[in-house]
Amino acid sequence: MATNRNAFFAFLLGGVVGAGVALLYAPASGVETRRKIKDGIDDAGDWAKDRYENTRDRVTDGTEKVKQFISDKKEDLQSAIEAGKDAFNKGRERLAGGR
């Protein structure tokens, strides 16, 4: 899976570099070329920011689910421990009463 991601990012980087070179050789004025490059960089920055925010939100959601799962299991374990203590005490009382 990591190989697919690396290939995707290599492809994406190649596309960005190719687009930059194409802009530099395009028959446009320097001002127009710089504006196009700036717009492309701004778009890439927006894309990266969106990806970061989406990933952060997914990690936060996952973390909350894990915390809730652990909390639920902790409560179940505490209940089981209490039930075990109660059963132990009742058994001890029965044995002490039988003497």
Burial 15-25 (b: 16+ CB within 10 A, else e): eeeeeeeebee
Residue 3 lies in a domain: no
| 58 alpha-carbon distance from chain centroid | 4
Residue 58 lies in a domain: yes
Lowest mean pLDDT among 1-5, 9-13, 19-23, 90-94: 1-5
Residue 90 lies in a domain: yes
> Rounded distance, CA 39 to CA 67, Å?
42
Residue 77 lies in a domain: yes
> Rounded distance, CA 37 to CA 17, Å?
11
What are 89's two structure tokens? 């005490």
Would you place residue 81 in the very low, low, confident or very high pLDDT band (cuts 50, 70, 90)?
Answer: very high
Residue 1 has what pLDDT? 56
Lowest mean pLDDT among 1-5, 46-50, 86-90: 1-5
Report helix, strand and coil shares of the chain as percent, to nearest 5. Answer: 95, 0, 5
Residue 11 lies in a domain: no
Residue 30 has what pLDDT? 74
Q: Output 8 or 55, whichever has higher pLDDT.
A: 55
Residue 86 lies in a domain: yes
Q: Looking at the 3D structure of the chain, how many domains does it have? A: 1
Residue 62, domain extent: 30-97
Residue 68 lies in a domain: yes
Residue 10 lies in a domain: no
> Rounded distance, CA 10 to CA 97, Å?
78
In this predicted model, what pLDDT tens digit does every residue of 9-35 receive, in sequence order? 788 788 888 877 776 776 767 788 788
